[in-house]
Amino acid sequence: MTGKEILAEAKNKMAKSGDALKRTLADIRAGRANASVLNPVQVEYYGAMTPLNQLASISVPEARQLLVTPFDKSTLEDIEHAIYAANLGLTPQSDGTAIRLVIPQLTEERRKELVKDVKAELENAKVAVRNVRREAMDELKKGNKAGDFNEDEFHDLEKQVQTETDEGIKNLEAIAEAKEKELIEV
């Protein structure tokens, strides 16, 4: 592999770590309605476990309310049971055609717990970025020993990998900081 290929691959993997962190943090409830809260819900539909978002439309009519409208009204009761079973801390309220989920206001203590969760996820993402850096550095060292590039190129590539790592970590910290602000806001 050339130095540029190693660098491009490392950059790509670091960007994926940021995307993964965004997806993980989207599942952390901030006291506002967000359809992604229902992502883990699986409904038994004709004998197969099916994601809720494939059986119903999920909308946000108000800031702290989700509305789940099944495409097939006969699945309403199954969807309600699946939401209970998912243990999300939400109580479904059915009106016969749709299910309303009211997102409870977060307590200060719960907000602090969620901020700790965000920091733990951030640390996991940072470790992933550092692992990518380590892999890239190992590839560069192999290339250097094999004579693929000279010492100057090797040191330049090492600096570029470190720069990408620093940028990747700054990006992760910005994502986590935005989520923390969202959690702390009342």
pLDDT at 127: 96
The yes-or-no verdict on residue 29 having pLDDT over 80 is no
Dist. CA 17–CA 24, nearest whole Å: 10
- The two three-digit tokens of residue 55, written as one number: 């059986």
User: Which residue's structure tokens are 């989520």?
Assistant: 179
pLDDT at 186: 58
CB 3 within 8 A of CB 140: yes
The pTM (predicted TM-score) of the whole model is 0.70
List pLDDT tens digits, range 68-123. Answer: 999 999 999 999 999 988 888 788 999 989 999 988 887 888 888 889 999 999 99
- The two three-digit tokens of residue 26, written as one number: 């989207």
- Which residue segments constitute the domains of the chain, with CATH numbers given? 3-27+107-184 (1.10.132.20), 35-102 (3.30.1360.40)
Reference 65, options 113, 89, 106, 33; nearest CA is: 33
pLDDT at 114: 87
Kindly state the helix (H) or strand (E) to which residue 91 belongs, with its residue range.
Answer: none
List pLDDT tens digits, range 111-161. Answer: 888 899 999 999 999 999 999 999 999 998 998 888 888 888 889 999 999
